[in-house]
A and B are shown apart, each in its own frame.
Chain A
Amino acid sequence: MNGKIIWTLAQKELRDALHNRWFLLYTIAFIGLSLALSYMSLAGAGIAGFAGFGRTAASLINLVLLIIPLMALTVGAQSLAHEQEQGTLAYLLAQPVTRVEVFIGKYLGLALSLLASLGLGFGIAGVVLALANGAGSPMAYISLVGQTFLLSLTMLSVGFLVSALTKRAGVAIGIGLFLWLTFVFLGDLGLMGTAITMRLPVEQLLWLSLLNPLQVFKMAAILDINATLDLLGPAGIYAMQEYGAQLRGVFLMLTALWILAPALAAYMRFRLRGDF
C-alpha cells in the first residue's frame, strides 16, 4: 500500500465532493436545519432562563438520524458504481495502483468530505448557539459530532457495499434509498409492531433494535448527553442496569462492526471483481 497514492485518490474525492451538487445540497440542508433548530431552542432558552442544549441536542439527534444516513448512503452507493458507469474506474485501475489503494483512497476521501460537511453544519449552528448563550456543555457537543461522524461511516460502508455489488449508479442509488427507508423508518416501525403484537421482553427489544446502527447511534448520543438512558424507558433502564459502564463499549463495538463488516465485504467484492 502506498500512502501517497491513497492520499491522491482521497484528495480527488474531496475535490469531487466540492463539485457534487448533491453533496452541496445535503450540506446546505444540514446547516440550514441545524441553524433552524438552534434558533428554536434559543427562543426557548429565552423563556426559561436556561440553556436548552439538552433539547437542541435531542432535535439534532432526530435531524441527524434523518439526513446523515441519506447523505452517507447515497454518496457511498455512488462511489464505485458511478465511476464504473462513466468508464473512469477501468482507466484508474489500469494505472499502477492496487485495488486496496483505490478502495481506501475513495473511502478516506468520502469520509473526510462527510466530516467536513458535519463540521460545517454543527460548527455554524454551534457558533450561533454559543454567541446567544444557548449552548450547553462543549464536551457533549463534541461527542455528539463524533457519534454522528461514526454513524455516517457506518452508512458510508453500507453504501460502498451496495456500490460494489452493482454496476449502474442509478440502481445503486435506488438500493441506497431503499436501505435508507429501511434503516430510518421500516425497521423501527416493524420492530414497534412486533413489540406490540408479540409482547417482546425488553431484553429482546433492546437487542433487536441494536441491530440497527441508527439506534446504536441514538443510544450512544443520548448516553453521552444525559449520562443515562432513562429517556428510553424500560429498555433503556434495563440497558443501564444490565451493562452499566460497559454500555459505551458495547455501542462502540457495534458501531465499529457496522463500519468494518460492510466495508470489508465491499472491498472483497471489489477486489475479486473482474469485469471492468
Chain B
Amino acid sequence: MIEFTDLTKRYGKFTAVDHLTLHVPARGAVALWGVNGAGKTTMIKCLLGLLRFDGRITVDGCDVRRQGRAARQRIGYVPQELAFYKEMTTYDMAEFYARLKDAPTTRIATVLEQVGLGEHQDKPVGALSGGMKQRLALGLALLADPPVLVMDEPTSNLDTAARSQLLQLLVEVKAAGKTILFTSHRIEEVEALADTVAVMESGRLHFTCSSGALAQRIGLRTQVKFMVPGHQIDLALDILRGDGLAARRNGVGVIVDVAHGEKARPIHALGRANIEVIDFELE
C-alpha cells in the first residue's frame, strides 16, 4: 500500500533519512521505532508531501510528488499534537475538514460518535481535554474513510487513561481493515497495534521484525522495584542474584533489572524462597 523507495532527505549537510526503502502492505500495520532524531517524523512528512525529498514514495500507486492530492486522499493523518483553530467548535472543525476531504457531511456525526465526542460537538476546540483533542484528530483522519492511517506519536502527550482509551479505538480501527503506519516509542502501543516494526537508526532502516520480537531484538529491559519486609532485604538480594538477576538495594526495597517479558520472574523466585512481596512498581 505504501512504498518508500530509496527515500533520502537532507537538511543542509545533515541527512535525516538516508536511502531508505520500506514497504507497508495493504491492511498491514507498521510501526516506526527509534530514538528522537532517527528520522521517523521526517519520513511521515515526506509521505504527506510537506517536505521535498529524493527518492520515491507511493500510496496505493499514487506518486506523492506528482499525484499529491490523490495520495493524500488515501491517507488519514493524526499528528503528534493537533494544532487547532481554537475558536472553532468541534463540529465546525470537523465540517471544515470534511469539505476539504470531500467527505459526505453525514459522516461527521458518525465519526464524532465513534471517537466519543458526540456530546462535545458544540464546544470550542480549545476547551477540549488533551485526550479529546487527540480523539478528535483521529476522528478527522477517519472522516473520508481513507484506506491508510498515518500517525505520528499519537499517544505521546496523553495520560494513562486517555492513552488506553485512544489505543482501544485504534485497535478497533485496525480491525476494520485499515493500513496503518505510525511512529511510537511505547512498547505496549507497538505490541498492541503493529504487525511489523521498522527499527530506525540515524535515518537508516536498522532492521524490521515482528512486533512481538521487538523487545527481545532490542534487548529492552525494565527496572522493577519490590517492597519486601525490611529484615528480608538482604535475603531477597541473595536469592535474586542467585537466580541470575541484577538486583540492588533501594531504601526499603530492592530494584531488579529484568528483560521485557520476564517481569514476573523475580516474583516467582522470591515466592519460592517464601519472601513476602508486599508491593512492586515499574520504574
Contacts and interface: CB of A to CB of B under 8 A. Distances in A.
B99 interface: yes
A233 interface: no
B246 interface: no
Interface stretch (A63-71, A83-91, A109-117, A181-189): A83-91
Interface stretch (A54-62, A92-100, A214-222): A92-100
A274 interface: yes
Given A19-B87, A96-B73, A274-B52, A91 B100 contact: no
A79 to B, nearest CB: 14
B77 A94 contact: yes
Interface residues of B, number: 28
B49 interface: yes
B51 A97 contact: no
Interface residues of A, number: 23
A5 interface: yes
Contacts of A19: 87
A183 to B, nearest CB: 31
A9 B96 CA distance: 8
B50 A8 contact: no
A16 B130 CA distance: 24
A94 B50 contact: yes
A276 B83 CA distance: 13
B69 A96 contact: yes
A5 B84 CA distance: 19
B48 A94 contact: yes
B248 to A, nearest CB: 44
A96 B100 contact: yes
Interface string A245-276: 00000000000000000000000000000111
A275 B100 contact: no
A274 B96 contact: no
Interface string B58-81: 000000000011101101010100
Given A90-B50, A274-B51, A276-B51, A97 B69 contact: yes
Contact of A91 (B79, B99, B101, B144): B79
Given A8-B96, A96-B102, A274-B50, A88 B84 contact: yes
B33 to A, nearest CB: 22
B68 A8 contact: no
Given A94-B72, A96-B102, A86 B96 contact: no
Given A274-B51, A276-B45, A276-B51, A97 B83 contact: no
Contact of A275 (B51, B69, B96, B144): B51
B192 interface: no
A4 interface: yes
A96 B101 contact: yes
Interface string B239-256: 000000000000000000
B51 A93 contact: no
Interface of A: 4-5, 8-9, 12, 15-16, 19, 86-88, 90-98, 274-276
Closest 8 pairs (CB-CB, A-B)? A87-B83, A274-B52, A96-B73, A96-B72, A94-B48, A276-B50, A8-B99, A88-B83
Given A95-B77, A274-B52, 4 more contacts: A87-B79, A87-B83, A90-B50, A91-B77
22 contacts: A5-B100, A5-B102, A8-B99, A9-B100, A15-B88, A16-B85, A19-B87, A87-B83, A90-B83, A92-B100, A93-B48, A93-B49, A94-B75, A95-B72, A95-B77, A96-B70, A96-B144, A97-B100, A274-B52, A275-B51, A276-B50, A276-B51
